Structure 1
């Protein structure tokens, strides 16, 4: 369905989104049951990247409260267009320091903290904006543990604790936990269950030093079950809810 068609037939798009959302909720319910976890332990974040603000509004009407974006140029405009809605905005993409001031203007949580310079820039921007604390997750690059994927976003597992300490000590920032994406390289590539189990080990070490850092953000449309089994508290789902469409601009 094109953008114009979605505007002309909002009822049809609403039905599509409801069906996708219901299917994902059933998957999370089943994954929690299989893992022996209460459903309340897992939060669904709907990743609305490449989809219009009209979809975000329809999702909100269906009860969605947590949404994510990965590009500031899309997210800033969408957040402004949906400012009247009771949404929590998660920024999940690689974040350049020149975009920090904009992201701090709308994001409630940044999942992609991967270097000290970014911690410093986020802290300074939050203080300038005089806004409430910004939640931060340390992005873990599991492929870097094996020396692969050096160009990918995220910090090597061996460096997670030091970066977590820096976030926790930074004025205006709140260390909430860790995030990962199933790796494409290294010994854990193609094995999301093992990758997410490794993330759980790292998350446990972070919590030992910072007990309030309880978020574990892992799992997408293709591997949410493995993430829930491993202990993820937040799953980031886009395609399985919204369907496949061409990217915006």
Structure 2
């Protein structure tokens, strides 16, 4: 698709790539160790096709029904070119559907979801890679909270408590149709407009995630993925070992209203 939208996406991808390369250099990391997942939630099938044409291999979706309909519109070659990541909060009653088409589920945070995804993958005759989502809100001291006066919404971004992650990892390890691949987190919402750099809320959160990732990996050596970092904090995530970045608005622009 040689149109204006494709050109805009190419420019945005190039800008994000420059940020990733710079962050890897600053952290002494190999660029090839960091994978970009372009989050296409609410964006149309044509944008997914444009991204494929621009060389994107990983996309992320948040809504089960929307994603299933979008993927159904791809031809076999287009679908084969993609690794599809489910990165949204997942309801138990949607687990079977997601297990039938997702390649990686990033948001496993409770025992019932492990069971539901395992059954869904079995029924679909496939195996599913999963990540454990960690709730880091209670692990980060948001010392600047009084500046804004906003109440804290603990747990609002999803995830299992950090102290429950080892047991949840073991449960996934026992599931016949799931493969534990690592951990995922969303940094707590910052209370400060200038919250950036090595002591930022995101940096502190991602440092804690790195510690938990090491703990999980010590018991499950194949759990090497660390999904962290979005458009606003990908540099901090790379500095603390993220292997997969979930970037949407920096590439696709502001999300359209859900339909």
Q: Same fold (TM over 0.5)?
A: yes
Is the contact made by 2:139 and 2:208 (CA closer than 8 Å) also made in structure 1?
Answer: no
Is the contact made by 2:185 and 2:227 (CA closer than 8 Å) also made in structure 1?
Answer: yes
Say if 2:15 is the partner of 1:23.
yes
Is the contact made by 2:190 and 2:201 (CA closer than 8 Å) also made in structure 1?
Answer: no
Say if 2:62 is the partner of 1:70.
yes
> Once the 2 structures are TM-superposed, how far is the Cα of residue 248 of structure 1 from its aligned partner?
3.3
Of 45, 49, 52, the match for 1:60: 52
Say if 2:238 is the partner of 1:228.
yes
> Once the 2 structures are TM-superposed, how far is the Cα of residue 152 of structure 1 from its aligned partner?
4.4
Is the contact made by 1:193 and 1:226 (CA closer than 8 Å) also made in structure 2?
Answer: yes
Aligned to 1:110: 105
> Once the 2 structures are TM-superposed, how far is the Cα of residue 30 of structure 1 from its aligned partner?
0.5
Of 148, 159, 177, the match for 2:182: 177
Equivalent pairs, count: 239
> Once the 2 structures are TM-superposed, how far is the Cα of residue 83 of structure 1 from its aligned partner?
4.3
Aligned to 2:220: 210
Superposed CA deviations along residues 205-237 of structure 1, whole A, max 9, x for unmatched, are 000000110000000000000000000000000
Cα distance 1:141–1:83, how it changes in 2: closer, same or farther (>3 A)?
farther
> Once the 2 structures are TM-superposed, how far is the Cα of residue 28 of structure 1 from its aligned partner?
0.4
Give the TM-score, by structure 1 length: 0.91
Aligned to 2:211: 201
The 1-side partners of 2:136 and 2:93 are apart by 26
CA RMSD across the alignment: 2.0
Is the contact made by 1:116 and 1:166 (CA closer than 8 Å) also made in structure 2?
Answer: yes
Structure 1: runs of 5 or more not aligned: 1-8
Aligned to 2:95: 100
Cα distance 1:180–1:83, how it changes in 2: closer, same or farther (>3 A)?
farther
Is the contact made by 1:51 and 1:247 (CA closer than 8 Å) also made in structure 2?
Answer: no
Structure 2: runs of 5 or more not aligned: 141-151
The 2-side partners of 1:233 and 1:115 are apart by 23
Give the TM-score, by structure 2 length: 0.88
Is the contact made by 1:32 and 1:228 (CA closer than 8 Å) also made in structure 2?
Answer: yes
The 2-side partners of 1:139 and 1:44 are apart by 18
> Once the 2 structures are TM-superposed, how far is the Cα of residue 247 of structure 1 from its aligned partner?
2.3
Of 108, 115, 121, the match for 2:116: 121
Is the contact made by 2:37 and 2:59 (CA closer than 8 Å) also made in structure 1?
Answer: yes
Is the contact made by 1:148 and 1:185 (CA closer than 8 Å) also made in structure 2?
Answer: no
